[in-house]
């Protein structure tokens, strides 16, 4: 197979982990006889500094023409600390999702046995936790009508039936492939938009009799994820709720540096780690590259390359078992490994298989 991959390293630790993701993908594809062509493009603060646009037209063109995008992160403190900034790095991420029609964000939350002790929750609560958060990406308050003034501001949480139906369809299809349990998260007791979500979900549930569908208010879901994360199989929700819940879910594993994600929809899919740009760690060679590397596994599996994706996952498991880990997940007294060293160890392991 020949794959054309757009590589958007972005800001902060993005370029450092991006290099490791590309190296792992290259090693796997070489082993299986696939040809990969990479094209790099600017996004986020790096793009603002270069051309004044967080998602330039050239970047959009490269993404549109690619088979998939391997993305890393956006964000820079100089914009975070300036509330008057009219252009921000995060606008590049939102623009990419909107222009590519990426309405479904898929975030798996899965614990690693050797890292359960790193979770802030008790071992018996997180052991065996394995669920997927599916977040609607292109609707709701992030894209609705806005107003910002000195004395009043608002964001409109707008959804249409087709937007709700298409994300629920994705969720039901995932549930059918897993443990056939879907939890629809909303705030239907307060919000009109949530009542539309619940109404549509109740109608669609009749078409999926093999899937158990339950409904949960977002505040209850947030609490249940902490009290009983093993309850969930597939969770689906709107944009704002999903943004919050997926970050909460990531902490169950003990490190945000372990979880990948995919954003899919009408055009080129995007694969990325769930963490941010962590600018404080930029250039220090301490960022965990595993989420970026596992994003490569999701990318390969998206194209039906299951054996290739499995090899990447086994390589990550092998690195963890060998205690080849960056500082935030290293065992006490373990050897010191940086971003580069972990990435190279995984590439070497793959090449030896």
Contact 294, 316 (CB under 8 A): yes
Find the catalytic residue in 187, 208, 233, 337: 187
Find the catalytic residue in 67, 130, 155, 247: 247
Among this protein's residues, is 219 annotated catalytic? yes
**CA pair distance 324, 15, nearest whole angstrom:** 21
Among this protein's residues, is 142 annotated catalytic? yes
Among this protein's residues, is 247 annotated catalytic? yes
Find the catalytic residue in 142, 172, 174, 337: 142
Residues 6+ apart with CB under 8 A from 194: 186, 187, 188, 238
**CA pair distance 287, 73, nearest whole angstrom:** 12
What is residue 144's DSSP assignment? S
**CA pair distance 105, 241, nearest whole angstrom:** 12
The structure tokens listed for 140 are: 């709701």
Q: Are strands 2-10 and 68-73 parallel, antiparallel or unpaired?
A: parallel
Phi, psi values for residue 271, rounded to 5°: -120, 130
Find the catalytic residue in 67, 130, 155, 243: 243
Among this protein's residues, is 243 annotated catalytic? yes
Helices (H), the chain: 14-32, 45-51, 57-65, 77-80, 89-99, 123-126, 161-177, 192-205, 218-227, 239-251, 290-302, 306-321, 339-352
Contact 292, 21 (CB under 8 A): yes
Find the catalytic residue in 82, 219, 317, 321: 219
Q: Which positions are annotated as active-site residues? A: 142, 187, 219, 243, 247
């Amino acid at each position: 197979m020949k794959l054309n991959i757009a590589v958007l390293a972005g800001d902060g630790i993005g370029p450092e982990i991006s290099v490791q993701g590309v190296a792992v993908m290259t090693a796997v594809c070489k082993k299986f006889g696939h040809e990969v062509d990479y094209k790099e493009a600017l996004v986020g603060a790096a793009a603002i500094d270069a051309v004044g646009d967080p998602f330039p037209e050239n970047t959009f063109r490269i993404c549109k023409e690619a088979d998939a995008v391997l993305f890393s992160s956006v964000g820079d403190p100089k914009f975070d600390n300036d509330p008057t900034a009219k252009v921000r790095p995060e606008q590049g991420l939102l623009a990419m999702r909107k222009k590519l029609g990426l309405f479904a964000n898929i975030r798996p939350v899965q614990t690693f046995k050797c890292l359960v002790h790193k979770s802030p929750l008790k071992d018996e609560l997180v052991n065996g936790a394995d669920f997927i958060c599916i977040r609607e990406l292109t609707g709701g308050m992030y894209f609705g009508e806005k107003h910002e003034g000195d004395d009043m501001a608002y964001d409109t949480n707008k959804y249409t039936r087709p937007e709700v139906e298409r994300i629920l369809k994705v969720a039901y299809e995932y549930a059918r492939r897993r443990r056939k349990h879907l939890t629809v998260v909303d705030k239907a007791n307060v919000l009109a938009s949530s009542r539309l979500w619940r109404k549509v979900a109740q109608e669609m549930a009749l078409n999926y009799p093999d899937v158990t569908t339950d409904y949960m208010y977002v505040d209850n879901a947030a609490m249940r994820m902490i009290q009983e994360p093993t309850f969930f199989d597939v969770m689906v929700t709107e944009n704002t709720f999903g943004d919050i819940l997926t970050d909460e879910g990531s902490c169950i594993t003990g490190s945000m540096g372990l979880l990948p994600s995919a954003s899919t929809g009408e055009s080129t899919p995007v694969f990325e780690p769930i963490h941010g740009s962590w600018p404080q760690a930029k250039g220090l060679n301490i960022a965990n590259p595993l989420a970026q590397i596992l994003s490569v596994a999701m990318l390969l599996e998206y194209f039906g390359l299951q054996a290739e994706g499995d090899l990447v996952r086994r390589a990550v498991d092998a690195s963890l078992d060998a205690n080849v880990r960056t500082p935030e997940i290293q065992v006490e007294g373990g050897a010191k490994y940086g971003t580069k060293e972990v990435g190279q160890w995984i590439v070497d392991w793959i090449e030896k298989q």
